[in-house]
């Protein structure tokens, strides 16, 4: 009895000193989605045509709200065969507002719709029976709305989504406004520790400038601590997302650059689409991965469908478990076949240092208005850092 009392007092002391609380046997559950694209329409959805993103996203949120009542499949993954019960985090990795190319709506209008659905329409509760925490990263459309684009937009710029994301995630002492927000300096880069797992959120893609921040952040954690990265772009990135390398570095219809990263494009003077178009940029990212082998998983949207794969770099000299998530509006396959619409449920066992990602198909019965989530593919990986 005295031994148990001493352990309890020690745990209380650790918590009082700022250490995270310890709950034995608890699995952290996270719902992950991306590319909400408020402002555009789906060609087909539940028997209707030209369906507004607000209707589609609201339907997905309705389905997400049913996740705690689901029983996980017997797939050998974390908590296999058990009821979900609680969801601790809801993650959305960008393109909240569609780019404001005429005739699409402003970022301010899109953000208001997103906020209504994702902040106030979500009923998920965590393991402490508190509202699930919303974690956001910006996408290329959110950034373009803030800094401008080569094609006409109305208004020409509207940084509302970036400002709101920045204030929610970065929590500055003096919140940013549309008038004083500066994308060059006001990046959405933050991290949190979830039961001993370090989770990083960065702006768009880990380019050379983002890696400076990441390096400083990772210096705060042990090299044996597993690290998970969330951002908008896939590991290969897109050449057009880099900054035009030719002075005065303008975005034009001819060069196709969008000037979204601080890093200038190195492969040429015009953005390209071929697979090798970002090899030089990727090699910088691969070198960073090789220097930080505790980066064990990478989650992204941007080019959207459900895929669990291993990123190996342009020279096949790295192996990073990567998880691509679908979009409710612009999925590569689900935009044509709504029965393939999905989000992901991420289950984290920090004690075993394992991660299971499950595909959650949420519209397999388009004629039904009742949300029904069906589990699809799943993958379990080890987060153990080999010494």
pLDDT tier for residue 1 given thresholds of 50, 70 and 90? very low
Backbone phi and psi for residue 245, each to the nearest 5 degrees, phi listed first = -80, -5
Residue 272: what pLDDT? Answer: 87
Residue 275: what pLDDT? Answer: 64
Q: Are 41 and 50 in contact (CB under 8 A)?
A: yes
Least confident segment among 25-29, 41-45, 74-78, 373-377: 25-29
For 91-126, write each residue's pLDDT tens digit.
Answer: 999 999 999 999 999 999 999 999 999 999 999 999
For 251-266, write each residue's pLDDT tens digit.
Answer: 999 999 999 999 999 9
Question: What does pTM read for this prediction?
Answer: 0.93
Q: Are 311 and 381 in contact (CB under 8 A)?
A: no
For 299-347, write each residue's pLDDT tens digit.
Answer: 999 999 999 999 999 999 999 999 999 999 999 999 999 999 999 999 9
In 3D, which of 40, 65, 34 has the Cα closest to residue 53?
40
pLDDT tier for residue 4 given thresholds of 50, 70 and 90? very low
H or E element at residue 13? helix 2-16
Domains along the chain with CATH numbers: 27-382 (3.60.21.10)
Q: Buried (b) or exposed (e) across 334-364, using 16+ Cβ within 10 A?
A: bbeebebbbbbbbbbbbeebbbbbbbbbbbe
Residue 12: what pLDDT? Answer: 40
pLDDT beyond 50 at 47? yes
pLDDT beyond 50 at 351? yes
Residue 342: what pLDDT? Answer: 98
Please report how many Cα atoms fall inside a 13 Å half-sphere around the Cα of residue 329, on the Cβ side: 23
Residue 360 to residue 260: CA distance in whole angstroms = 31
pLDDT beyond 50 at 8? no
For 50-92, write each residue's pLDDT tens digit.
Answer: 999 999 999 999 999 999 999 999 999 999 999 999 999 999 9
């Amino acid at each position: 009895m005295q031994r148990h009392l001493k352990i309890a007092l020690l745990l209380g002391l650790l918590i009082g000193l700022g250490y995270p609380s310890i709950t034995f046997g608890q699995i952290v559950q996270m719902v992950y989605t991306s590319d909400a694209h408020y402002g555009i329409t789906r060609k087909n959805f539940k028997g209707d045509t030209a369906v507004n993103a607000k209707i589609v996203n609201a339907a997905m949120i309705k389905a997400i709200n049913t996740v705690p009542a689901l029983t996980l499949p017997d797939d050998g993954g974390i908590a296999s065969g058990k009821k979900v019960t609680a969801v601790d985090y809801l993650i959305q990795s960008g393109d909240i507002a569609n780019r404001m190319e005429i005739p699409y709506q402003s970022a301010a209008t899109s953000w208001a719709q997103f906020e209504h659905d994702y902040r106030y329409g979500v009923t998920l509760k965590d393991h402490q029976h508190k509202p699930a925490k919303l974690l956001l990263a910006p996408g290329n459309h959110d950034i373009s709305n803030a800094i401008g684009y080569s094609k006409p937009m109305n208004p020409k710029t509207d940084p509302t989504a970036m400002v709101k994301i920045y204030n929610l995630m970065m929590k500055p002492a003096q919140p940013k406004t549309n008038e004083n927000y500066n994308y060059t300096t006001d990046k959405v880069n933050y991290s949190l520790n979830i039961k001993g797992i370090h989770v990083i959120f960065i702006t768009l893609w880990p380019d050379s400038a983002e890696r400076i921040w990441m390096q400083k952040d990772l210096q705060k954690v042990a090299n044996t601590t597993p690290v998970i990265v969330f951002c908008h772009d896939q590991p290969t990135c897109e050449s057009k997302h880099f900054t035009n390398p030719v002075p005065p570095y303008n975005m034009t219809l001819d060069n196709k650059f969008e000037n979204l990263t601080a890093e200038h494009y190195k492969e040429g003077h015009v953005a390209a689409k071929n697979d090798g178009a970002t090899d030089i940029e990727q090699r910088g990212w691969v070198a960073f991965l090789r220097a930080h082998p505790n980066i064990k998983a990478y989650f992204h949207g941007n080019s959207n469908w459900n895929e669990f794969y291993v990123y190996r770099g342009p020279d096949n000299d790295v192996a990073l478990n990567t998880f691509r998530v679908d979009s409710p509006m612009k999925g590569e396959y689900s935009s044509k076949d709504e029965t393939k619409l999905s989000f992901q449920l991420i289950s984290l066992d920090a004690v075993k240092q394992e991660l299971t990602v499950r595909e959650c198909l949420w519209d397999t019965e388009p004629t039904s208005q009742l949300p029904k989530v069906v589990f699809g593919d799943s993958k379990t990986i080890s987060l153990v850092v080999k010494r």
